[in-house]
């Protein structure tokens, strides 16, 4: 691991404040990053205080004045070069993501691939920031709309995807002409610093103004500063619903914009017409991948009563084959939770299930021993529950899969929709009518609805986000770029008279 840290230019004592080209130690408290894999100290970061924060935002304000005037295709080419840098350092950064966050190495590498993919997407987008033209009701007039950069984009990211979510926002914002100030999770600061180091050469060789890429490592107070700062027109925040409500209230109170990607309580419906050999691996991956710490994790499995026992038995068998341990070992399927607080949340949820009368098809357990020395490893479990129980209605960031029976598809869809969150959903069925009903206006109320694939694994090309308490934001592909720009309608009179709209007459 030390070799990787050296390649990414991360020393044991590092800097948590950056404006893209300049990096310096903050004046706030020291943050230590411990790996949930083995409990060892990876490095320490000097966090930001308010003065540091204002310095970074001030640099961003000045950089925006220059960056917005760079032609969009040129900005796209700079992003293309960044994609090449991330290709170069994919193994090192992916390994660090795995070690600092705890997800499997394949998932860590996949997260860096998401950065590469969004860079590719943003390059093409830089030549497609389209506006519309409209016919005017007034003679010798032309109407059209165009999109302009919005300014500073504040980005608050979570520990579970410590680099990918930053890139979804940043690469699109950059080609749109915005500048970014990033507050990463204080639980995964080193991966954020590594991203800044990786792009330094590109920024320097292209004479990008200092302040285009800002990084501020710190705790909750930094997110509060971003949310209340009138200099920042858009705050994109990923995290819990509780956090998102606070951000949304603060940003909305100053009439700013917020892009919120919050909690998920995702369900898969397994029809009696499902292809079970297709469904079982998707369910298991969705439920235990990243140790249940994805916003798209499969948390509820809604199974037709006629196949309920069969599906349960197949899942129990599959869970018996799971290998839990060091995520850097490619043979292991499941790594640790992020910290001891997450373990306590897991224990609290399983205790509530038991208190409410739920039973476990696969028993929960906190793992101990030499291979689990960090104290953050837990056994993925399966519980038989009722959908309306408070613990089921709540998102627990841990590998707990809830099994629920249904009789009719209408009932299954109502169960799927019957939670406060609305991010991802899926149905496994070979019945065309069931699939179409699930995707119809009377079907899933989530931002993502899949047929014959699981709830996890969204692709860059589609806009990512959800409804209800998930926040309503959209990041990444499709037309998500519009969130990072302001729309302007233009009317041009190329005639010699001044007709008014709606036929209004005004004569002097």
Whether the Cβ atoms of residue 21 and residue 103 lie closer than 8 Å to each other: no
d(CA 508, CA 167): 57
Whether the Cβ atoms of residue 181 and residue 153 lie closer than 8 Å to each other: yes
Whether the Cβ atoms of residue 391 and residue 356 lie closer than 8 Å to each other: yes
d(CA 76, CA 436): 38
Sheet holding 485-493, edge to edge: 133-135, 141-149, 485-493
**30-47 burial, b for 16+ CB within 10 Å, e for fewer?**
ebebbbbbbeeebbbbbb
d(CA 264, CA 422): 6
Whether the Cβ atoms of residue 154 and residue 173 lie closer than 8 Å to each other: no
Cross-strand bridge partners of residue 33: 43
Extract the tokens encoding 322.
């799971």
How far apart, in Å, are the Cα atoms of 282 and each of 100, 103, 276, 301, 432?
26, 18, 10, 11, 20
Whether 363 sits among the annotated catalytic residues: the reply is no
**Phi and psi, residue 428, nearest 5°:** -110, 115
Catalytic option among 92, 100, 114, 261: 261
**Phi and psi, residue 321, nearest 5°:** -95, -5
CA-wise closest residue to 288 among 39, 107, 164: 107
How far apart, in Å, are the Cα atoms of 59 and each of 23, 152, 265?
12, 10, 39
d(CA 210, CA 62): 8
CA-wise closest residue to 337 among 158, 160, 162: 160
CA-wise closest residue to 183 among 170, 197, 198: 170
Distance in Å from the first CA to the final CA of the chain = 80
Query: Three-state SS for 131?
Result: coil
Give the distance from CA 23 to its chain's centroid: 26
Query: Three-state SS for 116?
Result: helix
Handedness of CA 22, 226, 157, 462 (dihedral sign): negative
Instruction: Provide the annotated active-site residues.
Output: 261
């Amino acid at each position: 691991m030390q070799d990787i840290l050296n390649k990414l230019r991360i020393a044991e004592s590092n800097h948590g404040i950056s404006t893209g080209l300049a990096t310096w130690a903050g004046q706030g408290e020291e943050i230590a990053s411990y790996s949930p894999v083995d409990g060892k100290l990876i490095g320490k970061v000097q966090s930001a205080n308010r003065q540091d924060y204002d310095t970074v935002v001030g640099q961003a304000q000045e950089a925006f004045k220059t960056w917005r005037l760079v032609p969009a295709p040129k900005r796209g080419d700079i992003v293309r070069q960044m994609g090449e840098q991330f290709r170069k350092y994919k193994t090192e950064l992916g390994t660090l993501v795995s070690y600092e966050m705890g997800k499997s190495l394949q998932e860590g590498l996949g997260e860096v691939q998401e950065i590469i993919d969004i860079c590719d997407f943003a390059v093409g987008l830089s030549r497609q920031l389209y506006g519309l033209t409209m016919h005017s009701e007034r003679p010798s007039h032309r109407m059209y709309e165009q999109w302009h950069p919005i300014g500073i984009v504040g980005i608050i990211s979570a520990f579970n995807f410590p680099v990918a979510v930053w890139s979804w926002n940043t690469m699109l914002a950059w080609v749109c002409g915005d500048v970014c100030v990033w507050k990463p999770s204080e639980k995964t600061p080193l991966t954020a610093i590594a991203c800044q180091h990786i792009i330094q050469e590109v920024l320097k060789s292209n004479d990008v103004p200092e302040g285009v890429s800002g990084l501020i490592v710190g705790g909750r107070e930094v997110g509060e500063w971003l949310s209340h700062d009138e200099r920042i027109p858009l705050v994109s925040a990923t995290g819990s619903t509780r956090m998102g409500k606070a951000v949304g209230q603060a940003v909305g109170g100053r009439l700013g914009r917020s892009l919120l990607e919050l909690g998920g309580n995702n369900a898969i419906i397994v029809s009696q017409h499902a292809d079970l050999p297709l469904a079982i691996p998707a369910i298991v991956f969705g439920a235990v991948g990243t140790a249940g710490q994805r916003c798209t994790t499969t948390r509820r499995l809604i199974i037709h009563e006629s196949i309920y026992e069969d599906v349960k038995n197949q899942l129990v068998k599959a869970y018996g084959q799971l290998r839990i341990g060091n995520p850097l070992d490619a043979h292991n399927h499941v790594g640790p939770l992020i910290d001891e607080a997450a373990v306590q949340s897991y224990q609290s949820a399983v205790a509530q299930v038991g208190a409410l009368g739920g039973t476990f098809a696969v028993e929960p357990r906190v793992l101990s021993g030499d291979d689990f020395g960090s104290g953050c490893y837990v056994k993925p479990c399966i519980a038989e529950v009722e959908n309306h129980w408070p613990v089921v209605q709540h998102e627990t960031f841990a590998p707990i899969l809830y099994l629920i029976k249904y009789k009719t598809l209408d009932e299954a869809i109502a169960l799927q929709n019957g939670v406060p969150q609305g991010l991802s959903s899926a149905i496994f069925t070979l019945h065309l009518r069931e699939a179409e009903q699930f995707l119809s206006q009377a079907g899933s109320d989530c931002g993502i609805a899949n047929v014959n694939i699981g709830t996890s694994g969204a692709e860059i090309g589609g806009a990512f986000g959800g409804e209800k308490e998930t926040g309503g934001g959209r990041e990444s592909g499709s037309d998500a770029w519009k969130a990072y720009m302001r729309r302007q309608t233009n009317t041009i009179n190329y005639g010699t008279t001044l007709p008014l709209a709606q036929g209004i007459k005004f004569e002097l």
